[in-house]
Amino acid sequence: MPLNPTHIQKARRHLRAADPVMKTVIDAVGPFTLRLERDRFGMLVRSIISQQISTSAARSIRRRLQELAGPDGLKPSNLAQFTVDELRSAGLSPQKASYVADLAGKVNDGTVDLRQIGRLSDERIVEQLTQVKGIGRWTAQMFLIFSLGRLDVFPHDDLGVRTAIRNRYGLDDLPDKQTAITIAAPWRPYASVASWYCWRTLDLDRKMNNGAKGYPT
């Protein structure tokens, strides 16, 4: 499901006019191609699974969890029926199994209403989601950006965004919170779009570095 193209055009125009560094980034990266994740519950489950493990390990655990869930799939009403020990059999750590169980329980009983959550403000959504064990502010911000398509979320603690800011704004070190917020101030009210462009610059940097292998400096 795409974001509103009119909003994205306005966001790109704003960012290019408000910040010369971001203008250069947008020119280098190209079109904004983010597509929203429609499965809100599934995204949160994947976020929990992926914490502090490799992508391949997370993929393997997710596949085993889907096998455990059976034909009913990764639905809150389905996963809420499993015990923590049963969830652990899919390869989840005891802690993450308890997180998934807590998420499924809270969504299933309506404590966290994912169907209606999009009607709330950003901060209220963060408050709702962080009731769940294992979901912190960063995960809630990723949900706002990648599932709900909120345009003005700035995840200042995100390592990728901080790395991109360091690289593109000529800093010696990763920016602290206040430095990052100051740099991002001109991005408002489209901080999510700018953050997406920051992440994409890391992809560009990796491609350049890989392409340079084997060549003399």
User: What whole-number distance in Å separates Cα of residue 12 and Cα of residue 187?
Assistant: 10
Q: Are 97 and 159 within one domain?
A: no
Same domain? For 66 and 135 the reply is: yes
Quote the number of domains for the chain.
2
Domain endpoint, select from 109, 124, 146 = 146
pLDDT tens, residue by residue, 104-154: 999 999 999 999 999 999 999 999 999 999 999 999 999 999 999 999 999
Domain closes at, from 129, 146, 163: 146
Burial 66-97 (b: 16+ CB within 10 A, else e): eebbeeeebebebbbebebeebbebbbeeebb
Q: Are residues 84 and 170 in the same domain?
A: no
Q: Are residues 69 and 112 in the same domain?
A: yes
Domain check: are 20 and 116 in the same one? no
Q: What is the span of the domain harbouring residue 17?
A: 5-35+153-211
pLDDT digits (tens, 9 = 90+) for 19-50: 999 999 999 999 999 999 999 999 999 999 99
